[in-house]
């Protein structure tokens, strides 16, 4: 086994050194490719190289996605978006992308290692994500796969007063360009067939879950889901199957983050309830109108004073960067989360009203009451009752089946070319 690893590393070293870069060490690897720490031969600067796996080098859609990511990122000038320096192919034809070397970890790794964040820390992380999204959206680009794995927590810089360093958005491989003028500036961008599911189910917007065309609002929904994760330590919806997870995004009302934490933290987390729940609205028009509007709403919140101290930072954090790109146009899912079984939570009227606040507008009902004999009482626009709920499940299942059939048809068409 050790001999095989050594041979694989030697082959990777030869591959990398057929480019203008010197191999230093492999950082990670997966089904899609490898991530390597490299040094520019002439300039001596350290960078991170992401290479598409050799077995996939001939898959033009994947190579095009990597080139799309390079084109998009070179157009962006934000400290909150990872910087790309180069794109090319190795001597054997493997596409590679060279980006800045970041010291730290992803938000997912952070929470797995250290646990939840305080409301003040989450507010600062949200501010930086939204600053990055402002720049992304100005180029008429939708990220479409925002999740804790694709936001990097840099240890070397940032606002240390609230315990949050610099935050950067990663992985622009499945972006969508929403305007013709922007598309012309970026050149050919790998297309996604209408009706195809792209993204990661735990964090994608309801319109993505049913294969509709998405706009910038989908990224705002995903941002809300990331913030929910940071406060609670898991994604907003936990379901046993991927289909049920998609259905939850479309039909189920998320609980307020404060309803999912212990009593000691509730006052702290409640400060962000209304903000996050608005971002997680089912209909795009009910969310914030833009990243700028969401940022303004965040900054208008009173200064957050944590009532409890967040977990202390670990002394050793691995260097990491995203490599596992979501394959575009195919229903590729992250590993299913462990089913979370917990009792129904009843909130007081005052808590419910506070959690339901939407930019000064109180909603009359919250879906946090216990199930009654006649069903769950709810005012949510996507919530259905009785037989209607059954038909809705059937509808989502049919949509998923249609998406799979479309994928098969496209693959067969390519094989026949």
Kindly list the catalytic residues. Answer: 145
Q: Nearest 5°: phi and psi at 249?
A: -60, -35
Distance CA 166, CA 160 (A): 9
Q: Nearest 5°: phi and psi at 317?
A: -125, 130
- Spatial contact of 100 and 82, defined as CB atoms under 8 Å apart: yes
> How far is residue 188 CA from its own chain's centroid?
24
* H or E element that contains 250: helix 242-251
Distance CA 250, CA 210 (A): 8
Distance CA 12, CA 29 (A): 11
Total count of residues recorded for the chain: 417
- SS3 call for 25: strand
* H or E element that contains 292: helix 291-299
Distance CA 274, CA 289 (A): 16
Distance CA 358, CA 181 (A): 34
For residues 57-81, one letter each, b for 16 or more C-beta atoms within 10 angstroms of the residue's C-beta and e for the rest, the string is: beeeebbbbbbbbbbbbebbebebb
Q: Cβ contacts of residue 185 below 8 Å, gap of 6+? A: 75, 139
How are beta strands 104-106 and 151-159 bridged, if at all? antiparallel
């Amino acid at each position: 086994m050790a001999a095989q690893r050594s041979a694989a590393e030697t082959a990777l070293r030869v591959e990398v050194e057929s480019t203008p870069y010197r191999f230093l060490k492999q950082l990670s690897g997966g089904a899609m490719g490898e991530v390597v720490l490299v040094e520019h031969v002439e300039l001596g600067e350290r960078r991170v190289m992401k290479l598409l796996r050799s077995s996939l080098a001939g898959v033009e859609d994947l190579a095009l996605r990597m080139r799309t990511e390079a084109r998009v990122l070179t157009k962006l000038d934000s400290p909150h978006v990872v910087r790309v320096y180069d794109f090319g192919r190795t001597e054997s034809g493997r596409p590679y992308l060279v980006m800045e070397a970041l010291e730290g970890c992803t938000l997912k790794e952070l929470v797995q290692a250290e646990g939840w964040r305080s409301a003040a820390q989450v507010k600062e992380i949200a501010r930086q994500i939204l600053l990055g999204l402002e720049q992304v959206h100005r180029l008429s680009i939708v990220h479409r796969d925002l999740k804790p794995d694709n936001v990097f927590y840099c240890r070397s810089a940032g606002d240390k007063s609230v315990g949050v360093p610099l935050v950067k958005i990663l992985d622009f491989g499945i972006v969508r360009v929403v305007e013709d003028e922007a598309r012309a500036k970026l050149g050919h961008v790998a297309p996604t067939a209408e009706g195809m599911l792209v993204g990661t189910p735990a964090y994608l917007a309801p319109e993505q879950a049913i294969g509709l065309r998405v706009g910038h609002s989908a990224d705002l929904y995903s941002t809300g889901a990331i913030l929910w994760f940071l406060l609670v330590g898991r994604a907003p919806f936990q379901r046993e199957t991927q289909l049920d997870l998609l259905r939850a995004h479309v039909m189920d009302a998320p609980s307020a983050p404060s309803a999912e934490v212990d009593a000691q933290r509730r006052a702290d987390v409640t400060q962000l309830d209304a903000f996050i729940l608005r971002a997680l609205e089912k209909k795009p028009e009910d969310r914030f109108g833009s990243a700028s509007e969401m940022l303004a709403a965040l900054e208008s919140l009173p200064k957050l004073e944590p009532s409890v101290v967040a977990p202390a930072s670990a002394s050793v954090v691995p260097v990491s960067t995203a490599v596992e790109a979501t394959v575009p146009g195919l229903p590729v899912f992250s590993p299913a989360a462990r089913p979370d079984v917990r009792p129904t939570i009843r909130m007081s009227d005052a808590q419910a009203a506070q959690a339901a606040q939407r930019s000064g507008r109180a909603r009359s009902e919250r879906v946090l009451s216990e199930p009654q004999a006649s069903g769950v009482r709810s005012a949510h626009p996507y919530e259905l009752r009785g037989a209607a709920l059954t038909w809705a499940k059937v509808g989502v299942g049919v949509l998923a089946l249609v998406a799979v059939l479309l994928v098969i048809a496209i693959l067969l068409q390519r094989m026949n070319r």
